[in-house]
Amino acid sequence: MTAATETVDLTTQPRSQVQSAAFWAVKSLRRGEKVVLITAQEPTLLMHSLDLQLRHNLAWTIVEADGRWRVEVSHRADAGPRDALDMLGLDHKRLDGVFVRALQLLNRDDAAGAAPPLREFAAALRRHIAVEDGLLASFLDAPAADADPLAVMLREHKEILQQLSVVEDSLGFPEAAELGALCAILSGTLAKHEHREESNLFPRWRGQWARKSAVEREEVMSRVASLLAALGK
Ligand SMILES: [Fe+2]
Ligand SMILES: [Fe+2]
């Protein structure tokens, strides 16, 4: 089934109202839907601003023709990842999903049932951290000063891996309450860490990403995809 595509011509809008008219045109965009915006000005900045307002829910392509621009806007979930940072962001969501499954089982005192998703989660989290530390930190960043987002990430990874090891060591002695408490500590640490990465470090890395050649970006995306793949299976 193909959803109808709405076209919104912004070329007749006063310049001061283009941003808000575009916002209302794409605000309620759902998966499977598309909106085409026609603009009189080059729309890259406009689209980044809208995307920020809508919590990175937008994907778009821009085509220029006859002195006007045609922007085809869709929901981010319908598009593939734009870059390696998108892939890591999606991986955060997948990691969280597996961990929540384990936590729900622990809440029901089912430590034995929680062990398989916890093992899956542990392997996936180690892969994720290896991609960030081993591949992207060197591809996208300079050696870190103490207070900068890369240094924070590297320090938090050590803490997370220590907490993860404690959880894994407890899997052989399944007491649901104790395991649940250890997982709750790790869950809090991880949630703060993912938020800090997505709001502080990934935007900075995205600036570096844009300076890499298309060949380099493609190669790194395919390496990240294969390194993270085990979780999606
Ligand atoms: Fe991380
Ligand atoms: Fe991450």
Q: Which pLDDT band, with edges at 50, 70 and 90, does 233 fall under?
A: very low
CATH number of the domain where residue 37 is located: 3.30.110.40
Among the candidates 44, 60, 78, a domain finishes at 78
Q: Are 61 and 169 in the same domain?
A: no
What confidence category does residue 226 fall into, taking pLDDT thresholds of 50, 70 and 90?
very high
Q: Which is it for the CA torsion 100, 105, 106, 112, positive or negative? A: negative
Tell whether 217 and 109 lie within a shared domain: yes
Distance CA 121, CA 104 (A): 14
7-21 average pLDDT score: 95
Among 63, 78, 93, give the residue marking a domain's end. 78
Reported as a single tens digit per residue, the pLDDT across 80-135 is: 888 999 999 989 989 999 999 999 999 998 988 999 999 999 999 999 999 999 99
Q: Measuring CA to CA, how many Å separate 8 from each of 13, 17, 20, 111, 140?
A: 11, 13, 13, 54, 38
Do 102 and 67 lie in a common domain?
Answer: no
Residues 17 and 101 in one domain: no
Query: Are residues 191 and 93 located together in one domain of the fold?
Result: yes
**pLDDT band for position 3 (cuts 50, 70, 90):** low
In the reported structure, the alpha carbon of residue 176 is separated from the centroid of ligand 1 by a whole-number distance in angstroms of 27
Tokens representing residue 194 in the block? 């993912």
Ion ligand 2: residues, Cβ under 5 Å = 197
Residue 42, pLDDT above cutoff 80? yes
Neighbours of 4 (CB within 10 A): 6
CA of 100 to the centre of ligand 1 (A): 18
- Torsion over CA: 109, 113, 115, 119 (sign): negative
> To the nearest whole percent, how much of the chain has pLDDT over 70?
94
The residue among 50, 78, 106 that closes a domain is 78
Q: Residues 91, 231: contact at Cβ < 8 Å? A: yes
Dihedral of CA atoms 96, 100, 102, 107 in degrees, nearest 10, equals 150
Residues 52 and 146 grouped into a single domain: no
Same-domain status, 127 and 172: yes
Residues lining ligand 1 (ion), CB within 5 A?
Answer: 132
Please tell me the predicted confidence (pLDDT) of residue 145.
64
> Residue 65 Cα, ligand 2 centroid: separation in angstroms?
39
Residues 221, 120 share a domain: yes
Range of the domain at 48: 5-78
Average pLDDT score over the chain: 90
Could you tell me the pTM of the whole model? 0.73
Instruction: List pLDDT tens digits, range 64-76.
Output: 888 999 999 999 8
Across-strand partners of 134? none
Give the count of alpha carbons within 13 A of 212, CB side only: 20
Confidence of residue 231 (pLDDT cuts 50, 70, 90): very low
Residue 55 has pLDDT above 80, yes or no: no
Question: Looking at the structure, do residues 49 and 22 belong to the same domain, yes or no?
Answer: yes
Number of domains in the chain: 2
The answer, yes or no, to whether residue 147 has pLDDT greater than 70, is: no
Whether 112 and 15 map to the same domain: the answer is: no
In the block, residue with structure tokens 């045609």: 70
Distance CA 182, CA 176 (A): 10
Distance 203 CA to ligand 2 centre (A): 13
Give the percent of the chain with pLDDT over 90: 68
Alpha-carbon span 32 to 166, nearest angstrom: 43
Q: Give distance in angstroms: CA of 136 to centre of ligand 2.
A: 11
168, 226: one domain? yes
Nearest to 37 by CA among 57, 49, 53, 19: 19
**Same domain? 100 vs 59:** no
